[in-house]
Amino acid sequence: MLLQLKNIFKWVNSGGQRIFLLKDINLNVHEGEFISVMGPSGSGKSTLLNVIGMLDAFDEGEYQFLDESVHDLREKNRANLYKEYIGFVFQSYHLLDDLTVKENLEMPLLYKKVKGPERKAMVADMLDRFNIVGKKDLFPAQLSGGQQQLVGIARALISSPKLILADEPTGNLNSKQGEEIMELFKQLNQEGVTIIQVTHSEKNAAYGSRTINLLDGRMV
């Protein structure tokens, strides 16, 4: 098992009232799964993804990731854990505008202190795999949305994570670009990468092996 959420609650206090963002979430994810999280706006999809990605804390419950108890870990160890095993893909790509495609890909490796030659090899490998060798010296603004998201996924993949978390990865793309990205996810999943995506579209959700529906922070 890759990860297990047990009775996860998350809330905020607003005006003396406790507003639940996540309510009693129980979720087991096995390696190689491709899960789609669906639900209306404000149902807690992104919050759930952030909790799984260890970017956000939760208030109650237990979270096991590869036999580590995330809820018992200190901030720093948690960061090390997600650095090692999780890659993030965002709706608005979040590439760094001042860096070229190549430099954007290189960044996670820099933070993992991968040595120079090895880093170059990995970047070259990734450029090759995504067929963007010709664009390696361009800046994000010079790319189309689809291409930018391609770079975003490549960046998420470069440190060979076990899990990819994608928050509406096709939300800013047209349907053709979206389809290409989803095909890519499917292919990655077949290669063994576990994927959890948040999406609004039934069509995209269908790429997944399993769909979770959220409503007002609760799994339905």
Partner 1 sequence: MFKNQLKIAWRSIKKQPFLNALNTFGLAIGIAGTLIICLFIYDELSYDQMFLDSERIHRINVDAKFGGPGREMSQVSAPMAGAILNDIPQVEEVIRFRPWGTTSLNKIDSRELVLEDNATWVDTNVVSMFGLKMLYGDPLKALEQPNSMILTKSAVEKHFEPSSAIGRELIVNEGQTFTITGVIEDLPQNSFLAEYSVFMSLMGFQDAFQNEWGNHNYNTFIKLKHNADAADIAAPLQGMMERYLIPYAQQFFPGITLKEFEAAGNYVNYSSMKLTDLHLHSHRAEDMGRNGDINNIYILSFIALFLILLASINFMNLSTAYSLKRAKEIGIRKTLGSNKKGIIRQFLMESGLITFGSLIIGLAMAWIALPFFNDLAEKAISIPYSSPVFWLVLFAAAILLALCSGSYPAFFMSKFRPARVLKGSGETSLGGAKLRSGLVIFQFAISVFLIIGTLVVGEQLQFIQNKDLGYSKDQVLLINNLNRLNNQAGSFKEEVKQLSQVADATLSEFVPTPSSRTDSSFFLEGKTDQESAVNMQGWRVDYDYMNTLDLKLVSGRDFDPSIATDSTAMIINESATKVLGLSPEEVLGKRVANGLGEDALSYYTVIGVVKNFHFESMRNVVRPLSLRISNSLGYMAVKLKSGNFEETVSKIQGIWDSRSPGLSFDYRFMDDSFNEVYENERRLGKIFIIFTSLSIFIACLGLFGLAAFNAHKRIKEIGVRKVLGASVGQITYRLSVDFLKLVGIAILIALPIGWFAMNRWLQDFTYRIEIGVGIFLASALLAILIAMLTVSYQSIKAAIVNPVKSLRTE
Q: Measure the CA dihedral 152/156/133/179, to 10°.
A: -60
64, 51, 216, 201 alpha-carbon torsion, rounded to 10° = -100
**Is position 94 an interface residue for partner 1 (rule: CB under 8 A)?**
yes
User: 24: alpha, beta or left, given left = phi > 0 and alpha = psi -120 to 50?
Assistant: left
Q: State the minimum distance, in angstroms, from the CB of residue 205 to partner 1.
A: 19
Q: Is 107 in the site for partner 1 (CB under 8 A)?
A: yes
The contacts of residue 95 (CB under 8 Å, 6+ apart) are 104, 140, 148, 151, 152, 155
Query: Contact with partner 1 (CB under 8 A): which of 12, 19, 79, 206?
Result: 79
Check residue 19 for interaction with partner 1 (CB under 8 A). Answer: no
Query: CB-wise, 145 or 171, nearer to partner 1?
Result: 171
Contact pick of 77, 111, 142, 160 for partner 1 (by CB under 8 A): 111
User: Could you say which residues in the range 116-175 bind partner 1, by CB under 8 A?
Assistant: 155, 167-168, 171
Query: In the chain, which residue ranges form alpha helices assigned H by DSSP?
Result: 45-52, 75-85, 101-111, 116-129, 145-157, 175-190, 202-205
Name the minimum Å distance from CB 190 to partner 1.
25
Please give the full DSSP string across 194-217, using - where no structure is assigned. Answer: EEEEE-S-HHHHTTSSEEEEEETT
The residue range among 27-35, 51-59, 192-200, 208-216 that interacts with partner 1, by the rule CB under 8 A, is 51-59
Contact residue for partner 1 among 50, 149, 199, 204 (CB under 8 A):
50
Q: What are the φ and ψ backbone dihedral angles of 9, each rounded to 5 degrees?
A: -120, 140
Q: How many Cα atoms are found within 13 Å in the side-chain-facing hemisphere of 45?
A: 22
Tell me the per-residue interface mask from 176 to 215 with partner 1, x by CB under 8 A, - otherwise. ----------------------------------------
Interface residues with partner 1 (CB under 8 A) are: 46, 50, 53, 55-56, 79, 83, 88, 90-92, 94-98, 107-108, 111-112, 155, 167-168, 171
